[in-house]
Structure 1
Amino acid sequence: VAQGFFSYLVPTLPGRALVGLLSRKKAQTRLTNFIQKLRQAGKIKEVVNEAATWGIPLRPLKRTYLDRMVVVGDAAGQVKPTTGGGIYYSLLAGEAAAQVLSEALADDDLSSGNLSRYQSRWRDLLAAEIEVGYSARRLYEFLTDQQIGALVKRAAANGFNSELVDASEGTFDWHGKMIAQIMGNPGLGGALRLINPLLARLAHRPDIGTAQSQTTPAYHD
């Protein structure tokens, strides 16, 4: 339905919901197919508005400051590559921006050189997390359903799924340590070997730094 990402049907009001998905490409076609499946399953009755489409950056800008300007949030690419979510990262970067701007105003110096401290601060917080998440995303997008199934079965068989759920490293907003734990778990070695031939292809694949998001309101039971 939404290869490499996810689709959703989220209730908003009684009898109303948002239908949407994220995809690297063909978002409109994929959404149309998803809506058709929901109708056939009796999950929705009809679509009530045109679908809205926008891009979600999966890579940050190389430079997020200029004279008298800093860039924060989605516009700066401060987004979790694993899920496309950006609220938490935006809040952290926004706090860093507020601190730097406050200091710059006190110094009466809004030059790009002075505001460059903003980029250093938000990157100290988020850069490593974003890089790990993006590497995991690129690898995940190469997996077939069968390979994902093999990984899940192997994790369940050796109890790693329960270990992962209970681990203090894994949180809703911080994914890097959890990803490292998954990739480094020796119990998944056999299943991970299924994807080794894909690593060479991964290095030569064109890097698309955005995903497409489509959403539309609908009536549902």
Structure 2
Amino acid sequence: MRIVEIIFSPTGGTAKVARAFAEGWEGEVKTIDLANPEKDFSTCAVDEGDQVLIALPSFGGRVPTIATERLSRIAGNGATCTLICVYGNRAYEDTLAEMEDTARACGFNVVAAVAAIAEHSIFPQFATGRPDATDTAQLRGFARRITEEATDTPTIPGNRPYKQGGRGGLVPQPAATCVGCGLCARECPVQAIDADGFAANPETCIGCMRCLRICPVNAREVNAAAVAAKAEALSPVCTPRKENELFL
């Protein structure tokens, strides 16, 4: 059996969850990276016999728009599909419902879904180090259960119409210590960073924080006062440990 992993993971948390989960299955793994801005996703081949895993992050309780747009170009061809939404210990709200609708519209046969925790991409003090060893063991167990118990009619939570989406408003910009290596511009999933001055376009940036995480000299920054205020507001809901969930 071939496993096809379709992921959007700007800072690596979603990819880490997907890897842990896929270890519960057996087969060769092919990865389709939806964060690649140069890829023509209409050419990505998924066969009916593939076991597909779609793993996307929850941004404010919704799927990032660019991930939905790119996923919608991939033909599912009736392949069995499990959905994983990954969130930073706040809430995933309508993310799984939106993923389900998009996947079914592409022709995937959705048989199960998982909501999983990873370290918050903007506020790493929440869900620090997750998925941890406990999460990894649980995700592998979920994969095995899906193999044994999945049906074509899973009960997946979420509202339709979906909640209103929107960017978080935190746009990383270059600091004075920027050395001009250009890595941030090359790796930005939405090509929002100018290739000369390395400033991010606030109208294009989705606040995914990839540029901040990958900068080799830590020369990307966001407004410190805004970060502190948002972290304080989120602390009551994001601090208590939440657990991964399986929907069959």
After TM superposition, the score normalised by the length of structure 2 is: 0.30
Query: In proportion to residue count, which structure has more helix?
Result: 1
**Bigger relative contact order (CA 8 A; separation at least 6):** 1
After TM superposition, the score normalised by the length of structure 1 is: 0.33
Look at both structures and tell me which one has the larger radius of gyration over its CA atoms. 1
